[in-house]
Amino acid sequence: MRKLYIGALSVAALTFAVGCSVQLAKTWGKYEVEDRRSGYTYRIAETRRIQDDDFENPGMMWVDEGSSLWGTKDGKAGKACASCHNDASATMAKAGTEYPKFNSKTGKMQNLEQRINQCRTKNMEAKAFKWESSQMLGMTTFVRHQSRGQAMNVKVDGDAAAFFKKGENFYNERRGQLDMSCSNCHEDNAGNMARADMLSQGHSNGFPTYRLKWQKVGSLHRRFRGCDKNIRATPFEYGSDEYVNLEFYLAWRGRGLPVETPSVRN
C-alpha cells in the first residue's frame, strides 16, 4: 500500500514538472529577439488584447488624426507632407526603425519629432508643432505606424558613435535623490515588481504609446520625464540633447524588436 502511495506521488511530481517546463518554454514570437523582450510581453492579457485589435486600440485614433494632417496644406509655402513625401505607406515605411539619425547640419542626433518640425518650419514655412500636442502626437504616431512590424535598426557607427556613447552613459548613470540609473530597474530588475507594477526591459519599440494611466497617447520623452520624476531627479526638457541621445541608445538596445506603434501599455 505504501509503495503504491509513493508511486502515485511520483507520477504527480512528474506531471507537475512537465507542466512547469511547458510554462517556461512559452515563447513570445516576434515580441522576443534573443534576450530582448518587448514591453508587450510584460503586460497582462487584457492590455495585450486591446493592442491586438486595431479597432479596440484607442491609439489608432491618433493614427487617423496624423493621417488627415499628412494631406492637409499648412504654412506659407502651401505644402502638405504629402506634397513631397506622397504616399506615407511607401515613403515612411522605414522611418520608424531608423530614427534618431545623425543630422550633419546641426551636428547632433535628430529624432522623429524634431525631423517633422524641421520639415514644417523650413520646407512648409509653417509653425512648429508643440511637443505633446495632439497634432505632434498624431503625426509621430502616424509616421511610426507605417513601420509597424519592422525591426528596429538604427545606425550607431560613424558620426553617431559619440552620441551613442553619451546615451549609453546616461542610461547607466545614477541620478536623483534615489540615486538610481535606468539600468537599475530595466536591466537588474526587469520582470520584478515595483510596488504593483511589473518592470519591463524598457524598450522603446512601442512608442508613441497609448498608456492607460495617461488615458491618451504619449511620447517617449514624456515617459522619460515620468521615470526621472519617479527617481526624484529633475526631468530634462522635451527634445533635450540628453533625451535624444538616450532615445538613440534605447533604439539600439531594442534592435530587432518590431515597431509596435501605437502600442497599449498600463
Partner 1 sequence: MANVKARVKAPKTVKKGEIFEVKSLITHKMESGQRKGKDGKKIPRQIINKFVCSYNGKDVFSSNWHGAVSANPYLSFHIKAVESGSLDLTWTDDSGAVFKKSTKIKVT
- The CB-of-138 to partner 1 minimum distance in angstroms stands at 8
Residue 56 touching partner 1 (CB under 8 A): yes
User: Which of these segments, 50-58, 165-173, 182-190, 233-241, binds partner 1 (CB under 8 A)?
Assistant: 50-58
- The CB-of-216 to partner 1 minimum distance in angstroms stands at 7
Contact set for partner 1, span 224-263 (CB under 8 A): none
Residue 134 touching partner 1 (CB under 8 A): yes
3-state SS, the chain, equals CHHHHHHHHHHHHHHHHHHHHHHHCCCCHHHEECCEECHHHHCCHHHHHHHHCCCCCCCHHHHHHHHHHHCCCECCCCECHHHHHCCHHHHCCCHHHHCCEEECCCCEEECHHHHHHHHHHHHCCCCCCCCCCHHHHHHHHHHHHCCCCCECCCCCCHHHHHHHHHHHHHHHCCECCCCECHHHHHCCCCCCEECCEECCCCCCCCCCEEECCCCEEECHHHHHHHHHHHCCCCCCCCCCHHHHHHHHHHHHHCCCCECCCCEEEC
Q: With the C-alpha atoms ordered 106, 89, 70, 137, is the resulting torsion angle positive or negative?
A: negative
Q: Which is nearer to partner 1, 56 or 237 (CB)?
A: 56
Q: Which is nearer to partner 1, 67 or 118 (CB)?
A: 67
Q: Which is nearer to partner 1, 137 or 257 (CB)?
A: 137
- The CB-of-45 to partner 1 minimum distance in angstroms stands at 16
Asked if 20 is an active-site residue, the reply is no
Contact set for partner 1, span 165-224 (CB under 8 A): 212, 215-216
Residue 47 touching partner 1 (CB under 8 A): no
Q: Which is nearer to partner 1, 202 or 208 (CB)?
A: 208
Residue 62 touching partner 1 (CB under 8 A): yes
Residue 266 touching partner 1 (CB under 8 A): no
Active site residues: 227
- Give contact residues for partner 1 (rule: CB under 8 A): 50, 55-56, 58, 61-62, 64-65, 134, 212, 215-216
